[in-house]
Amino acid sequence: MNARAAVEAYVAVGSNIDPRRNILAAVEMLTRQMPLTGVSTFWRTEAIGPGGLPDGQADYLNGVLRAEASCDARRMKYNVLREIECRLGRQRTAERFAPRTIDLDLVLFGLEIIDEPDLRIPGPDIERPFVAAGLLELDGGLVLPHTRQPLSCLWPGGPVAPGMTADVELTRQLKELCRK
């Protein structure tokens, strides 16, 4: 099998069931699969349910990782990210807003644009404030492949929204883990 040139990929990470433990475990597992070259600030955000209203679940911790992927986007999503979710007890249900042990979403994969029923790149959550904040922190000049516009144009005042609180300690732990 020929080696594929590494592609810069961005992964949105979130959890609201034992989030510190699950995020640390997911990042550790991911570092065994590919080099992580960036960790954004991780943000505590209120869980939002259907209709965009708070639904009483535990708060989420969310952030973004930058990785050097040597596989294709489909393999990364299903053979790497979904496998890690499975190992950490993630159970996918029809309820889109259900609590989760870990959520690993491939939001960007180089300059690729993929629009298939089970794989969309850029990921549909790319404009959510905590995802945009993480992406801009990791690459302030990031240009979205599908619009060819800088992500910063969508957020002229910055994407940090009311209720987003930085988790400085978790961010420090994750950055240290990726340096090993």
Domain ranges of the chain: 7-167
Task: State pLDDT tens for residues 106-115.
Answer: 999 999 999 9
Active-site residue, selected from the candidate residues 59, 72, 92, 105: 105
Residue 92 appears among annotated catalytic residues: no
CA distance 74 to 55: 32
Active-site residue, selected from the candidate residues 66, 90, 120, 128: 90
Q: What's the mean pLDDT in 33-46?
A: 94
Residue 103 appears among annotated catalytic residues: yes
The confidence band for 46, taking pLDDT boundaries of 50, 70 and 90, is confident
3-state secondary structure of 138: helix
Q: pTM for the complete prediction?
A: 0.92
CA distance 22 to 15: 7
- Homologous superfamily (CATH) for 7-167: 7,8-Dihydro-6-hydroxymethylpterin-pyrophosphokinase HPPK (3.30.70.560)
Active-site residue, selected from the candidate residues 59, 72, 103, 125: 103
Residue 59 appears among annotated catalytic residues: no
Residues 84 and 152 sit within 8 Å (Cβ to Cβ): no
Residue 100 appears among annotated catalytic residues: yes
Residues 56 and 64 sit within 8 Å (Cβ to Cβ): no
CA distance 85 to 76: 12
